[in-house]
């Protein structure tokens, strides 16, 4: 895409100024999206080494131990096989993002099992805290030292299953199997605060061991909805996170300022507003637009900076940075674009349909004019922002 060929003929104020009434209605309404934050995600896609990698925002990685086999056939990429006889499991050091979760949390994982006898853990804290897995052929959720929550599930040896455990603020544990709600158990109290390490495929270094395959463990703060769990089952590899994440490297502009991408609100498939992407610390009174894509991240040299979006790259309607009136030049400008509104066609342009598809991962980056650089490098580039369209 030739970004330099974009020459807006009009100077547009930020979208919230174009549609003040709509913005007030949307931002004043009750949110329709889930209030969840991804705490940890273990894709189990490693094919060599001992590292158990967390691809979530907190980087709570661990180490595979003893009887494990990487690179097995999985549902989402590859999976890891664990042997009970060889005491295979994963060790994860204590982390505040995990130890703080005693209720209002959700767990999700794909698995096969070679045994439906006894306790089998997919993920668990060693002391106190929470554990999820199986008890014989039943789904099991445990607040260790407080309560075992057992839900009949008729799990069999061999097949792949997707399970989700949702422990809400009222201490109700809801169980889902293959995208369907199968029952709930009321709890008497929250989990005790964990005091030790965490494990994949066991409760401790040698107890309640898994025997079989595990793929894509996801841990959330907050309660996943039934619709979101159905999407996880029907779209292996998908994860939800209403909190966008920044990545990539911004281009220092000609005034020596480093632009930054930010956001307000939350992405939502059903609401035509309420998720504003911002480009701050940019040159004042300059035209710009948001570049976006649905094919993942990139790090490509582009116009003296880095293009953070994998092709094909799309663009939104133009915006202006505002800020200090000319002829003064400074970094008081702010680009602002409501991507929920743009995705629903409220702002014009030709938005991709995926912008309103629940579960779609979107990457974006502001591009703008910077006449302080010679052509073809006369542009501003923020860092990148990645989000998942919520419900």
Same domain as 214, residue 68:
yes
Indicate whether 312 and 348 sit together in one domain: yes
Residue 219 pLDDT:
97
Got the DSSP string for 105-150? EEEEEEE--S--SSEEEEEEESSSSEEEEEETTEEEEEETTTEEEE
Tens digits of per-residue pLDDT, 313-323? 999 999 999 99
Local confidence band at 390 (pLDDT 50, 70, 90 cut-offs): confident
Contact yes or no for 148/158 (Cβ under 8 A): no
Total number of domains constituting the chain: 2
pLDDT at 34: 53
pLDDT band at 37 (very low <50, low <70, confident <90, very high): confident
- In tens, the pLDDT along 225-284 reads 998 899 899 888 888 876 788 999 999 999 999 999 999 888 888 889 988 999 999 999
Give me the count of residues in the chain: 391
Query: 286: pLDDT confidence band, cut at 50, 70 and 90?
Result: very high
* CA distance linking residue 278 with residue 256, whole number of Å: 19
- What CATH number should be reported for the domain holding residue 158? 2.60.120.200
* pLDDT tens readout for residues 338-366: 999 999 999 999 999 999 998 899 999 99
Over 90: is that where the pLDDT of 333 sits?
yes
Whether residue 310 has pLDDT greater than 80: yes
Q: Are residues 122 and 190 in the same domain?
A: yes
Same domain, 269 and 322: yes
Q: Are residues 92 and 181 in the same domain?
A: yes
* pLDDT value for 101: 92
| Residues contacting 21, CB < 8 A, separation 6+ | none
- Residue 178: give the domain boundaries: 37-234
Q: What is the pLDDT of residue 265?
A: 82
42 and 27 co-located in one domain: no
Considering the domain architecture, whether residues 24 and 86 belong to the same structural domain is answered as no
Query: Six-digit token pair at 99?
Result: 């130890």
Same domain, 74 and 218: yes
Which pLDDT value is given to residue 242?
67
- Asked if residues 83 and 67 have their Cβ atoms less than 8 Å apart, the reply is yes
Query: If you average pLDDT over residues 183-196, what whole number do you get?
Result: 94
Q: What is the mean pLDDT of residues 132-148?
A: 97
Mean pLDDT over 38-49 rounds to 95
Pairwise CA distance, residues 109 & 382, whole Å? 35
Q: What is the pLDDT of residue 350?
A: 96
What are the strands, taking DSSP E only, across 251-376? Answer: 260-265, 275-282, 287-293, 297-302, 305-309, 314-315, 319-320, 333-338, 361-369
Start-to-end CA distance of the chain, whole Å, equals 31
Pair (200, 215) in one structural domain:
yes
287 and 221, same domain (yes or no): no
Query: Of 200, 234, 268, which residue constitutes the final position of a domain?
Result: 234
What φ, ψ does residue 232 adopt, rounded to 5°? -60, -40
End position of a domain, from candidates 234, 253, 280: 234
pLDDT in tens, 69-80: 999 999 988 999
Distance of CA 68 to the CA centre of its chain: 27
Reply yes or no on whether the pLDDT at 10 is more than 90: no
pLDDT at 14 over 60: no
Q: Which residue's entry shows tokens 């309640």?
A: 208
pLDDT for the residue 268: 83
Say whether both 264 and 125 belong to one domain: no
C-beta separation of 208 from 119 below 8 A: yes
Token pair recorded at residue 350: 């030709």
Asked if residue 21 has pLDDT above 90, the reply is no
Q: Above 80 in pLDDT, residue 325?
A: yes
Do 253 and 381 touch, CB atoms closer than 8 A?
no
Residues 304, 281, single domain; the answer is yes
């Amino acid at each position: 895409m030739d970004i330099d060929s974009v020459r807006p003929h009009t100077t547009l104020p930020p979208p919230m100024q174009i549609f003040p009434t709509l913005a007030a209605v949307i931002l004043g309404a009750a949110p329709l999206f889930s209030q969840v934050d991804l705490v940890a995600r273990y894709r189990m896609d490693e094919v060599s080494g001992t590292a158990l990698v967390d691809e979530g925002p907190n980087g709570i990685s661990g180490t595979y131990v003893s009887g494990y086999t990487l690179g097995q056939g999985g549902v989402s990429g590859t999976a890891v096989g664990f042997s009970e006889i060889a005491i295979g499991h994963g060790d994860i050091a204590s982390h505040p993002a995990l130890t703080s979760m005693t209720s209002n949390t959700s767990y999700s994982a794909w698995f096969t099992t070679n045994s439906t006898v006894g306790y089998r853990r997919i993920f668990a804290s060693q002391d106190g805290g929470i554990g999820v897995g199986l008890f014989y052929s039943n789904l099991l959720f445990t607040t260790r030292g407080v309560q075992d929550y057992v839900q009949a599930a008729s799990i069999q040896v061999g097949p792949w299953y997707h399970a989700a455990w949702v422990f809400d603020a009222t201490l109700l544990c809801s169980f889902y199997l293959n995208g369907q709600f199968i029952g709930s158990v009321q709890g008497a109290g929250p989990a005790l605060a964990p005091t030790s390490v965490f494990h994949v495929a066991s409760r401790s270094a040698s107890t309640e061991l898994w025997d079989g395959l595990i793929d894509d463990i996801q841990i959330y703060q907050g309660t996943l909805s039934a619709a979101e769990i159905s999407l996880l089952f029907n779209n292996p590899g998908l994860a939800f996170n209403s909190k966008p994440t920044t990545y990539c490297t911004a281009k220092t502009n000609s005034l020596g300022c480093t632009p930054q991408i930010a956001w307000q609100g939350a992405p939502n498939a059903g609401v035509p507003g309420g998720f504003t992407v911002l480009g701050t610390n940019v040159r004042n009174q300059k035209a710009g637009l948001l570049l976006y894509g649905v094919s993942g991240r990139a790090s490509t040299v582009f116009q003296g900076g880095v293009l953070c979006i994998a092709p094909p790259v799309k663009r939104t309607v133009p915006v202006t940075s505002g800020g200090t009136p000319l002829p003064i030049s400074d970094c008081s400008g702010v680009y602002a674009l409501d991507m929920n509104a743009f995705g629903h066609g409220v702002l014009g342009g030709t938005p991709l349909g995926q912008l309103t598809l629940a579960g779609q991962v979107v990457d974006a980056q502001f591009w703008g004019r910077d006449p302080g650089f010679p052509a073809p490098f006369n542009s501003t580039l923020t860092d990148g922002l990645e989000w998942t369209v919520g419900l």
